Amino acid sequence: AQSVTQLGSHVSVSEGALVLLRCNYSSSVPPYLFWYVQYPNQGLQLLLKYTSAATLVKGINGFEAEFKKSETSFHLTKPSAHMSDAAEYFCAVSEAGAGSYQLTFGKGTKLSVIP
Amino acid sequence: KAGVTQTPRYLIKTRGQQVTLSCSPISGHRSVSWYQQTPGQGLQFLFEYFSETQRNKGNFPGRFSGRQFSNSRSEMNVSTLELGDSALYLCASSVDGSTSYNEQFFGPGTRLTVL
């Protein structure tokens, strides 16, 4: 089974500072990776996805992630944090089940943005 | 296009009772997946339905069941509720769930509290 590890359950950054959320995966086959964001009392919203087309993936709200096979990593970054970025972020890998694909999630990283 | 809708948004039940949650996918989406989200275990895959058939199932006891109707709407049922079943239950829909990069769209979730 594939697994996803997110380093740091809580990350705090100042408004305007770089955001870096870490994600490492384990997979024996080429992975398909996703970053989702969850705001309080809401469901998950897709930020971006890696599907092997390009190693640097750009998503919504100024976020991007770089796939590094040698490091088995898919870290999420944003050059300048905004107050509205405060939320919980989940990294996920698509895993084959019996006839379909399911998402395996990391434990999540809660991002706080300090004004 | 309307997003994934889940009803009810909040539920309070007592131990031993049973509960049914409902999910309406995005129009045209035929695959519906269910996930349980708890602070301790994070996001865990419950099961996935396509064309009224369960194709994939996570590692949950038989008290958790589901079904899908011909219009792709899905319900999940939890019988003999336990305190540990308190969680946010998320429904996600995708076009057909058969490709590894198939994007899943999440609903806002149903918050179940078991007393």
Q: Which of A43, A92, A100 minimises the CB distance to B55?
A: A100
**Which member of B90, B97, B99 has the closest CB to residue A44?**
B90
Are B14 and B81 spatial neighbours (Cβ–Cβ below 8 Å)?
yes
Which residues does chain A have within 8 Å of residue B5's beta carbon, measured at their own beta carbons? none
Q: Strand (E) positions, A51-98?
A: 56-58, 64-68, 73-78, 87-96
User: What digits encode the pLDDT tens for the residues B31-88?
Assistant: 999 999 999 899 999 999 999 999 889 999 999 999 999 999 999 999 999 999 999 9
For the record, the structure tokens of A60 come out as: 């919504």
Q: If you search the block for the tokens 């989940």, which residue do you land on?
A: A90
**Contact assessment for residue A49 and residue A60, using Cβ atoms and an 8 Å cutoff:** no
Residues of chain A positioned with their CB less than 8 A from the CB of B56: 97-100, 102
Q: How confident is the model at residue B12 (pLDDT cuts 50, 70, 90)?
A: very high
Higher pLDDT, B44 or A101: B44
Question: Could you tell me if B99 lies within 8 Å of chain A, comparing CB atoms?
Answer: yes
Q: Would you tell me how many other CB atoms lie within 10 Å of the CB of residue A78?
A: 21
Find the CB nearest B56 among A43, A94, A100: A100
Residues with Cβ within 8 Å of residue B62, at least 6 apart in sequence = none
How far from the centroid of its chain's Cα atoms is residue A79's Cα? 15
pLDDT digits (tens, 9 = 90+) for A26-43: 876 667 899 999 998 889
8 A C-beta contact, residue B106 and residue A102: no
Helix, strand, coil content of chain A in percent (nearest 5)? 10, 55, 35
